[in-house]
Amino acid sequence: MSPQPLILKFGGTSVGTPEAMRQAARVIARTRREHGPVVVVTSALSGITDLLLSSTRAAAQNAAFPGREQAVERILGAHQAIAAALLPPERRPAALETVRRRVETFRRLLDAIAVLGEVTPRAWDAVASLGERMSAPLLAAVLAAQGIPAQPSDAANLIVTDRAFQNAQPDLEASTPRIRARLHPLLETGITPVVTGFIGATPDGLTTTLGRGGSDYTAALLGAALDAAEVHIYTDVDGVMSADPRIVPDARTLPRLSYREVAELAYFGAKVLHPKTIRPVVERGIPLRVRNTFNPDGPDTLIVARAEAVSGTVKAVTLIRDLRLLTVEGRGMLGVPGVAARTFAAVAATDTSVVLITQASSEQSITFAVPAEAAEPIAAALERTFAAEIARRDIDRIAITPQVAIVTVVGAGMQHTRGVAGRIFTAVGEAGVNVLAIAQGSSEVAISFVVEAEEAEAAMRAVHGLTRA
């Protein structure tokens, strides 16, 4: 019986240039030597998916948009540059044939979209899937040229999803037999599968994509189906950081995080794994590591179902910008049932997600944070909803603040620990920052507070000092 495979997922920056793909190949070769069988999941080359989608949007708006051929040449040129740098001449034509076919598919899709003047969700997914369908065969060819038997594998043949195009939900029970039937024979014969990330298909074969963090999701699904030893997510930073190093110079790699901590960090703006995408392996107890392709021996982050909580420990600080606070306020709200429900029904009708909510115990005001660009439409919707209450002064006003930011402090060790909130707000106060609103989730893993936009970085640096306390 072969050892359990490792799943290695490489993001766009890890394969986006000749040197990056060369380094990814080194990591794969070394892991095979040291561990044994591996399954590789790859994203599209860095920037390619954005270019595919922006070109598609432009074609829908203008059938003769001038950047069409330049976009096609940039896509083809990025892949040709890697082939020229990493493949011997005799291997290049075969490796690039798939790329050229996908580019022609892209041209035909643009033609159809230009005629229709619109892009359906199904068409978006057909276009968005092309980046991975070009990068996976190229990476497999690079591995083969270095003596590593490798074969590209389209995840549309592996992962079964529903029909929610652009954000499809995988069916792991239906996908597992397909994954095992197609990948086990390759692994048993020493071949490394190179799987397209981000992609799935409906039961009747229509291409779908998995939404935010889709390639991470692919890696987690394969890990769960194959009972992997570990899943490694390779990116361009040393694991998950305690803060954004561009704001906090002494930010450091967090060696261990729980699933709940990752969920809080991801929701509140940190560039970490989307919690939905890693659930399949976390729930099965399969370790997941976030590692740096360009510093594979450097520090990394291990994500597990439950990390050991050190009492009082603050692990990380995150920041969300470009928000505004709305407040619905009135003495006539006191004790009146249904005000909150009507408030958030009005918000939902604008198709906006609320980031943070806080309410005074007197029930005379409800305050919540939303993306800045949505604040004015939401205020208008609230004024319509509560027109009668405003007229009779039960609701005094619907107020909007200037731009604000949310700072979130995360750490499982904060649970049931006296004085943590006091330490946080003492540090913020000593930095001269005024707190506008506070919210703490029932999980007790995170405390969030709202500050004026220009004070956000000072607040973040002040609180980050507690991660060493």
Tokens of 422: 């006091």
pLDDT at 219 over 80: yes
Angle at 467 between CA 466 and CA 468, to 5 degrees: 85
Least confident among 204-218, 273-287, 405-419: 405-419
* CA pair distance 107, 122, nearest whole angstrom: 16
Query: CB under 8 Å to 233, separation ≥6 — which residues?
Result: 9, 11, 216, 219, 273, 288, 289, 290, 291
Q: What is the mean pLDDT of residues 417-422?
A: 81
Assign domain 316-468 to its CATH superfamily: VC0802-like (3.30.2130.10)
Output the 3-class SS for 89-126: HHHHHHHHHHHHHHHHHHHHHHHHHHHHCCCCHHHHHH
Residues of the chain with CATH 3.30.2130.10: 316-468
> Partners of 367 in the beta sheet?
327, 358
For residue 165, the SS3 value is coil
The answer to whether the CB of 395 falls within 8 A of the CB of 439 is no
What does the mean pLDDT of the chain come to?
A: 92
Q: What is the mean pLDDT of residues 138-160?
A: 98
Residue whose C-alpha is closest to residue 46's, from 236, 176, 189: 236
Tokens of 27: 């990591």
Residue 317, amino acid: V
* CA pair distance 285, 274, nearest whole angstrom: 17
CATH number belonging to the domain at 6-236, selected among 3.40.1160.10, 3.40.50.300, 1.20.120.80, 3.30.70.920? 3.40.1160.10
pLDDT of res. 368: 95
pLDDT band at residue 309, thresholds of 50, 70 and 90? low
Q: pTM for the whole thing?
A: 0.88
The answer to whether the CB of 206 falls within 8 A of the CB of 199 is no
pLDDT digits (tens, 9 = 90+) for 23-67: 999 999 999 999 999 999 999 999 999 999 999 999 999 877 788
pLDDT digits (tens, 9 = 90+) for 77-115: 999 999 999 999 999 999 999 999 999 999 999 999 999
Angstrom distances, CA of residue 322 to CA of 305, 373, 439, 449: 32, 8, 18, 14
The answer to whether the CB of 326 falls within 8 A of the CB of 379 is yes
pLDDT of res. 186: 97
pLDDT of res. 443: 56
Residues of the chain with CATH 3.40.1160.10: 6-236
Q: What is the mean pLDDT of residues 441-467?
A: 88
pLDDT digits (tens, 9 = 90+) for 338-392: 888 999 999 999 999 899 998 766 668 899 999 999 999 999 999 999 999 999 8
| Residue % of the chain over a pLDDT of 70 | 95
End-to-end Cα separation, the chain, in angstroms: 48
pLDDT digits (tens, 9 = 90+) for 163-203: 999 999 999 999 999 999 999 999 999 999 999 999 999 99
For 134, list phi and psi in degrees, rounded to 5: -95, -40
For residue 27, the SS3 value is helix
pLDDT of res. 1: 41
Residue whose C-alpha is closest to residue 29's, from 6, 52, 60, 58: 6
Tokens of 309: 């909580």
Query: CB under 8 Å to 360, separation ≥6 — which residues?
Result: none
pLDDT band at residue 273, thresholds of 50, 70 and 90? confident
Longest Cα–Cα distance in the chain = 81
